[in-house]
Structure 1
Amino acid sequence: MKRIVLDTNVLTAGLRSRNGASFAILRLVAARQLRPLVTTALFLEYEAVLARPEQMAVHGMAAVELDRLLAGFAALAEPVEPHFLWRPQLADPKDEMVLEAAVNGRADALVTHNRRDFSVAVGRFNVLVATPAQLLEGFRT
């Protein structure tokens, strides 16, 4: 089973639309074919972003439903304790926690819609950075 770190933008895209690679990734997580890795900070980011009013309006879940979904996601996730912090490495400080989860958890892939934001991770930390579609393509082959 591949162990992956999901950037928050993959979760938001997957909940906004049932079409597309982001939703397919979430389905593979639910089917236990992919294992998400999360730090406490990253999970709190997921929770905060998905509960924003503009996100709630688009994904259409009530707060109780979102809480259930996040609890289910947490039950499937592998917790990662960030023993090493390498800040600053990236242009966007909010992306640091995603990279730290991937490096500390020895993820097979960091999945994001913004590959360019994590380009330093490829060379410096030998982390595979893939879009949801790229991960699915590799998963199917």
Structure 2
Amino acid sequence: MIIVLDTNVLVAGLLSPFGTCGEIVRMVSGGMLTLCLDARIITEYAEVLARPKFRFDQEKVAALLDQIEACGIAVAPAPLADPLPDPDDEPFLEVAIAGGAECLVTGNHAHFPPSLCQGVIVLSPAKFIEFYRNRQRM
């Protein structure tokens, strides 16, 4: 399944590896999910994960980002026709649309009005896990 992963989910997954977000990060690392991305998303991941407040092992972060880039699908998205409430979220939706991602997984569900999502399903981490498991049962 191809998805776009908002930075907040990646951070939460690394902070709580046994929680819902951690499960999603493990699914990405294990190849069960393929991330759709572009340079803006990788840059944001790297910048946020480098923040001292998180105290992440930067060698492990670099390895994870290398894996995400190597296994992900890079796209060159077009700008959205209409802006999102938070312009910082626009790259994630642009990439999801351009890459044909089935879902955009985010902790900021309200930042993505359905009328602007062009068929991309925007789900919280918990709802995504439920969606994924239901899909696997089919």
Structure 2 residue 115 is the aligned partner of structure 1 residue 116: no
Aligned to 1:92: 86
Match of 1:138 among 105, 114, 131: 131
Unaligned runs of 5+ in 2: none
Q: How many residues of Structure 1 are paired with residues of Structure 2 in the alignment? A: 133
User: Aligned partners of 2:24 and 2:34: how far apart in 1?
Assistant: 10
Query: In structure 2, what is the equivalent of residue 71 of structure 1?
Result: 66
Instruction: Kindly state the Cα deviation for residue 5 of structure 1 after the two structures are TM-superposed.
Output: 0.3
Answer yes or no: is the 8 Å Cα contact 1:30–1:76 preserved in 2.
Answer: no
Deviation beyond 4 Å, 4+ runs, structure 1:
none
Distance in structure 1 (CA, Å) of the matches to 2:127 and 2:31:
19
Secondary structure of the 2:107 match is coil
Letter matched to residue 83 of structure 2: Q
- Opposite residue 39 of structure 1, the aligned amino acid is D
Match for 1:90: what amino acid? L
1:87 and 1:93 map into 2 onto residues whose CA distance is 12
How far did residue 139 of structure 1 move?
1.2
Given the alignment, which residue of 68, 74, 97 partners 1:103? 97
Structure 2 counterpart of 1:79, one-letter code: A
Alignment TM-score, normalising by the size of structure 1: 0.88
Matches within 5 A, 1:45-60: 45-55=44-54, 57=55, 60=56
- Residue 91 of structure 1 aligns to which amino acid in structure 2? P
C-alpha distance in structure 2 between counterparts of 1:53 and 1:37, whole Å: 27
Q: CA RMSD in A?
A: 1.3
Q: CA deviation at 1:88?
A: 5.0
**Identity fraction in percent:** 38
- Does the 8 Å CA contact 1:21/1:133 hold for their aligned counterparts? yes
Asked if 2 retains the 8 angstrom alpha-carbon contact of 1:88 and 1:96, the reply is no
Q: Show the 5 A alignment for 1:15-54.
A: 15-54=14-53
Unaligned residue ranges in structure 1 (runs of 5+): none
